[in-house]
Structure 1
Amino acid sequence: MSGLTSDTPVPTGVVVHAVSRVLELQYANGVSYRVPFELLRVYSPSAEVRGHGPGQETLQTGKRNVTITALEGVGNYALQPTFSDGHSTGIYSWDVLWDLATRQDELWREYLDTLAAAGVDRDAPMPAAAAPHGHGHCH
């Protein structure tokens, strides 16, 4: 995980828009980005989504209507949202949020391409999570 670089802007305001399902990130230069909850959710930096290395990602589906039910700050470097599907292990550093905000068109295409390549429908329900091998979170 890369730490914060000094040139990553830190949002001056963060607004959860529950109805339109976007997280608004406001920056000091007056620019604000609206990142859809679905994008945040499918690109969650958590181990359960990202896996432990390339090719181990778990393709997320059925997240079009996911909402953020709680949002907590983690130190001064990240946000930890709780999603309506119960997912709450993603720690979104300012780097990750900036990346999602500024590259969202590209990331959407990547996500949709991945779905197509896997022959999976975007709205398919997620298969029930397999029992994890052993307990304990990886940090």
Structure 2
Amino acid sequence: MPFILDFTNEQEVEEYSSFILSKSLRGVENQEEFISRDDFKQYLEMVKTIQVEADLSSKEVISNYFVATRRSRPECNFPITSISKLTVLAESHARLRLNPTVTHEDAIAVIRLYEQSMSYVYGKSICTTVAPQMEMDFEQPAQVISYTKSPP
């Protein structure tokens, strides 16, 4: 297994990060394929140095989710600081993917996690209210954006 610091170009870094992420999402068939703790620490140290910037679609998705949550759950007192917290989480998600741009996919991944925890506390997920045809599948963020922009 190569060490992150031994990479000579961005292609190798991207392949390595894809390997790590795919194994974490799909499981590992062979124990020998596990990444060592030291390799993983090096990966995280490298990830911390990546400067990211959010694109417009990621900002819109987070903002629209915030508005939809406040409308749907007025009892939860969803603070305005939640937008910045979701943004920081989306930035971290982009860094883990070694992507210098926070995309709507990063925002959606964070919202899915956040919404799941919110639904445990406050009941039914607003995601089925916002876009029932999506059933927590945010692959089509335009539907979420267009719904939350329309009047209640």
Structure of greater relative contact order (alpha carbons < 8 Å, 6+ residues apart): 2
Structure 2 length-normalised TM: 0.22
Compare the two structures and name the one with the higher strand fraction. 1
